[in-house]
Amino acid sequence: MEPQKLDRILLVEDSYHIRSLLNMTLTVLNNYQVYAFDCGETALNQAANLDPQLIILDVMMPGMDGPTVMEKLKTFRKYRDIPYIFLTSKVHSDDLADFERHGVTGVIAKPFEPTELSPMVESLWTQYHQKRHAHYIEEFTELQGQYLDSLHSSIDLLNQHIFSLEEGKTYSSKQLEMLHVLVNGLCGSGKSYGFNDITSSAQVLANFLKTISPNNDSYSLSSRDASRITALILGLITIIEKACEDTESPERLKGSVSFSRK
């Protein structure tokens, strides 16, 4: 999965010379739009008016250090789910472990080679989005499993409708409405969870149900309509059962130091 193009970077670095070098390198070599600030307080005052895609923070700054700036920026909704990169000379393993606990995406060590800065930023940007996508796939797979479990209840409900239809008694307009609601739910959810056949089969049944318009609660289906509905329900149940037996999960996506999102 290719991430969107990186265009806008917020930079906070208290050293004029380092900030100027970073700004020039990022704007001249890669044409990024850089919002550069000399301290966290100024960046926070302007944060609401900016729309960066990535944040680079110096760790050691007077007044407010990088981790504190990151924590305060994340109080803004639009700053919560974007990558943060720390710029620091503290690259001991204990320091890196501490940065990871803060939830930083990665670290660029000082001193840095200016011509290597943009490739490092791009690499961390790509890794961040790959990890987000992998995390999404994991959560989707869990939701898909819950959805499959819920389909067993749908099968039970569909079988209850078959039983009512085959009893030969009046199949009320209320029952017909309940069936329509159930089937419409399967139309909307099947394809979304990767089961196109469920949506297709449910849609055929839903379309047929639309042709039946009871006028009152005592409405009685014709035997022909009842048989047709029963056959379509049985076909839908067969497809749902096949989906429930399918144990394949969605394909999963197969580093400056890069950290996982927590």
Supply the pLDDT for residue 255.
35
Query: Is the distance from CB of 33 to CB of 47 less than 8 angstroms?
Result: no
167: in domain: yes
Q: Which helix (H) or strand (E) holds 231?
A: helix 223-245
Say if pTM beats, i.e. exceeds, 0.85: no
Is 138 within the bounds of a domain? no
> Domain with 72 in it: what CATH number?
3.40.50.2300
- CA-based nearest residue to 66, from 80, 76, 51, 55: 55
Q: Are residues 153 and 234 in the same domain?
A: yes
Within a 13 Å sphere around the CA of 50, how many CA atoms are in the beta-carbon half?
Answer: 23
- Let me know whether 103 and 177 are in one domain: no
Nearest C-alpha neighbor of 36 from the set 66, 10, 18: 10
Q: Evaluate the CA torsion angle 26, 28, 34, 38 in order and state its sign.
A: positive
- Determine the Cα–Cα distance for residues 69 and 78; give it in Å rounded to an integer: 15
162 and 83 housed in the same domain: no
Does 169 lie in the same domain as 73?
Answer: no
Per the CB < 8 A criterion, the answer to whether 87 and 56 are in contact is yes
Q: Are residues 152 and 204 in the same domain?
A: yes
Last residue of a domain, one of 90, 112, 134: 112
Asked whether residue 104 is assigned to any structural domain, the reply reads yes
Q: For every one of its 262 residues, what pLDDT tens digit does the chain have, with 9 covering 90 and above?
A: 566 899 999 999 999 999 999 999 999 988 999 999 999 999 999 999 999 999 999 999 999 999 999 999 999 999 999 999 999 887 767 767 777 777 889 899 888 899 899 999 999 999 898 888 888 888 888 898 899 989 999 999 999 999 988 876 677 888 888 999 999 999 999 999 889 999 999 999 999 998 886 655 556 778 888 999 999 999 999 999 998 887 554 433 333 444 444 3
Count of domains for the chain: 2
Domain enclosing residue 54, as ranges:
8-112
**Sheet bearing 257-258, strands edge to edge:** 33-37, 8-12, 54-58, 84-88, 106-109, 257-258
Q: Tokens in use for 98?
A: 């501490």
Residues 241, 164 share a domain: yes
Please check whether residues 149 and 101 belong to one and the same domain.
no
